[in-house]
Amino acid sequence: MDADVVIAGAGPNGLLLAAELRLAGVRPIVLERLPERSNEQRANGLVGQVARALDRRGLAEPLGAEPGGQVPRPEYIFAAMRLPLQLIEDNPIYILPSPQQKIEAVLEERALELGAELRRGHELANFTQDADGVTVEVAGPDGAYELRAKFLVGADGGRSRTRKLAGIDFVGVTNDAMVSRTGHASVPSEYFDEQAGVLRIPGYGDIPPYMHHRSDRGLFVFAPFPGRPALVSTGEWDEPGEGEMTFEELQASVDRVLGTHLPLTQTSEFVRRTVGGNTRIADRFRAGRVILVGDAAHVHSAMGGPGLNLGLQDVLNLGWKLAAEVQGRAPEGLLDTYESERRPAGERVVMQTQAQSALIAPGPEVTALRQMFAELLTEPAVVQHVADLISGADIRYFDGPHPLIGRSVPDLTIDGVRLAEILRSGRPLLLDLLDGSPYKATDEVDVVTGSGEQQIAMLIRPDGYVAWAADDATDQEGLQAALSKWFQVRDLTRATT
Ligand SMILES: Cc1cc2nc3c(=O)[nH]c(=O)nc-3n(C[C@H](O)[C@H](O)[C@H](O)COP(=O)(O)OP(=O)(O)OC[C@H]3O[C@@H](n4cnc5c(N)ncnc54)[C@H](O)[C@@H]3O)c2cc1C
């Protein structure tokens, strides 16, 4: 075998998967058809529980988090409506404010420092699979060649060739109704009220920056990101535009949406017009030894930035399971849980992004629906529900007798050390914060004892999800069952005193 796993695509998801596999001692080769990292304007940040998940790999700070633990945002948006997060007790909206180029640079650095092999300018052309592995045909700069690996992962984006060659359908809809226009532009300083923190547009009114704003005629966003050019975007329904996109077209679109002239100054060559979009999900995430992650498995509207919250958490879910499979230590059926756990997460994103698309559409009925939603969004329970949905905090992979079982582990501090830091090795962890005799460590599972905010024992999977938890030492059977189910470990018991 040339590698344990071939990964097609060095976007954020392919790069994080390479790092995860290296962390577990697996040898990946990443094929990337572009000779250099792309400069395409895509993500403006990472939103939701992914920020906590990346903290558990030491990647939050390189991506813009303050040192020493993240603080959730007091406000966010849902379908261009304010989400007053200060109303809720358990705010799950964390943001890492890095653009896609930075995200890819940080993840590439991590993958390479852990020893992953990245081949740029090498394109997956075709593959065949058999009972023992996958043979990948590669078009490289010096010609075609073959690679043999145990698994192939398609992280090759929404148009994934891996998915098409595997014969996996991409089920959903293409919607060509909305035309988005984007460019880099500044607005005159007198239009910005620093104290109120809003754009004050004569003849229109106030618009908070960064937030999607819906008028009767379309959508408008002004995002003055610190340290990079401000972004101006619109969304319209009956203005298709033709020929090459120009800055003048963006200006005209902004003026139509606002119903007044907002003088813009172009600050870079970048302008883009996008017509419609796809909402689709692969009908299988796996075909034998071929597995899909990220946009290759699902695409949807970018509204609210859910793409990498979903994709990077697919990767964290898959990485340790695929590593265990490759190394012959996976319990029966472990790899199948990648799809059974992550498909519902993908379906929730499809649902909430389609709901947002419906709620920003034009028309008086939608305006009425938005008014009703805005009233509902003054209720803390509704805000909590929507925030949990868009951040992925409502994910519970499986049930158990303790409320934390199947959920993302809470942020605890153990004897002054943040749990997120303890989890960075990516190894299964039995955290024992109960008084009494500690559990014995094994080669497969680390044990950490100490004291924290609560008396609890938890078995934590490498992706940060709780496999088992108990508030006292009575549920030893549950622990043994979880150890065996997830890690094929049987002999880890609480030592008798
Ligand atoms: C305008 C826009 C704004 C967005 N904003 C946000 C946001 O704010 N927050 C957020 O989380 N998400 C956002 N997203 C979504 C986010 O960009 C994607 O979810 C993310 O890039 C998906 O990562 P990926 O690694 O799955 O695929 P990609 O980033 O598409 O990477 C796939 C890689 O595979 C390579 N490739 C393709 N075919 C082959 C082949 N045959 N062989 C080898 N290599 C191949 C490609 O060159 C590419 O480098 C936005 C998307 C868009 C379009």
pLDDT of 92 > 90? The answer is: yes
- Rank 45-59, 234-248, 476-490 by mean pLDDT and report only the highest: 45-59
Longest dimension (CA), the chain: 78
CA distance 166 to 324: 23
Q: What is the reported pLDDT for 474?
A: 80
Work out the angle at residue 374's Cα, subtended by the Cα atoms of residues 371 and 378, and round it to the nearest 5 degrees.
145
Q: What share of the chain is helix, strand, coil (3-state, %, to 5)?
A: 30, 30, 40
Q: Does residue 493 register a pLDDT over 80? A: no
Q: Which one is predicted more confidently, 324 or 197? A: 324
Across 407-422, average pLDDT: 96
Of the pLDDT bands very low, low, confident and very high (cuts 50, 70, 90), residue 494 is low
| Predicted local confidence at residue 195, as pLDDT | 87
The predicted model gives 294-322 an average pLDDT of 97
Give the distance (Å) from ligand 1 centre to CA of residue 295: 6
The secondary structure of 164-224 as a DSSP string is HHTT--EEEEEEEEEEEEEEEEE--GGGEETTTTEEEETTTEEE-TTS-EE-SS-EEEEE-
**Atom 22 (ligand 1): residue with closest C-alpha?**
295
Give the closest residue to 18 by CA, choosing from 85, 108, 135, 101.
108
Whether 86 has a pLDDT exceeding 50, the answer reads yes
Average of per-residue pLDDT across 437-460: 86
pLDDT of residue 497: 44
Average pLDDT, integer, range 305-334:
97
Confidence of residue 313 (pLDDT cuts 50, 70, 90): very high
Looking at residue 349, its amino acid is V
Residue nearest to atom 15 of ligand 1 (CA): 307
Percentage of the chain with pLDDT > 70? Answer: 98
Question: Which of 147, 225, 308, 390 has most ligand 1 atoms within 8 Å of its beta carbon, as the pocket-test mutant?
Answer: 308
For residue range 179-210, what is the model confidence (pLDDT) as tens digits?
A: 999 999 999 999 988 888 899 999 999 999 99
- Smallest CA-to-CA distance from 395 within 345, 469, 328, 327 is with 345
User: What pLDDT does residue 417 have?
Assistant: 96
- For residue 378, what are its two tokens? 């003054």
pLDDT reported for residue 373 = 97
* Confidence check: pLDDT of 282 > 50: yes
- 364 band by pLDDT with thresholds 50, 70 and 90: very high
pLDDT score, position 88: 97
What pLDDT is recorded for position 41? Answer: 87
Substitution site in 42, 108, 178, 312 for ligand 1 pocket (most atoms within 8 Å of beta carbon)? 42
Distance from residue 354's CA to the centre of ligand 1 (Å) = 20
Higher pLDDT, 312 or 175: 312
Please determine, for residue 491, whether its predicted confidence score (pLDDT) is greater than 70. Answer: no
Q: What integer is the mean pLDDT of 427-445?
A: 83
Q: What is the pLDDT of residues 4-39, one digit of tens each?
A: 999 999 999 999 999 999 999 999 999 999 999 998
Q: From the CA of 14, how far away is ligand 1's center (Å)? A: 10
CA–centroid distance, residue 370 to ligand 1 (Å):
31
Q: Mean pLDDT over all residues of the chain?
A: 95
pLDDT at 327 over 50: yes
pLDDT recorded at residue 231: 95
Strand ranges for 71-142 from DSSP E? 75-78, 81-84, 95-96, 117-120, 123-129, 134-140
Split at pLDDT 50, 70, 90, the class of 125 is very high
**Alpha carbon 326 to chain centroid, angstroms:** 25
Q: Domains of the chain, with CATH numbers?
A: 3-171+279-391 (3.50.50.60), 178-276 (3.30.70.2450), 407-487 (3.40.30.120)
Confidence check: pLDDT of 462 > 70: yes
- pLDDT greater than 60 at residue 496: no
Please report which confidence band the pLDDT of residue 492 belongs to, taking 50, 70 and 90 as the band edges: low
Identify whether the C-beta of residue 292 lies closer than 8 Å to the C-beta of residue 310: no
**pLDDT given for residue 247 in this prediction:** 97
Ligand 1, residues at Cβ distance < 6 Å: 8-14, 31-34, 38, 42-46, 100, 123-124, 155-157, 161, 294-296, 302, 305, 307-309, 311
Q: Between 226 and 163, whose confidence is greater?
A: 163
pLDDT at 376 over 90: yes
> 334 pLDDT band (50/70/90 cuts)?
very high
* Ligand 1, atom nearest to 293 Cα: 26
Minimum mean pLDDT among 64-73, 137-146, 363-372, 431-440: which range? Answer: 431-440
The neighbouring-strand residues paired with 223 are: 231
The reported pLDDT for the residue numbered 495 is 56
d(CA 476, CA 378): 44
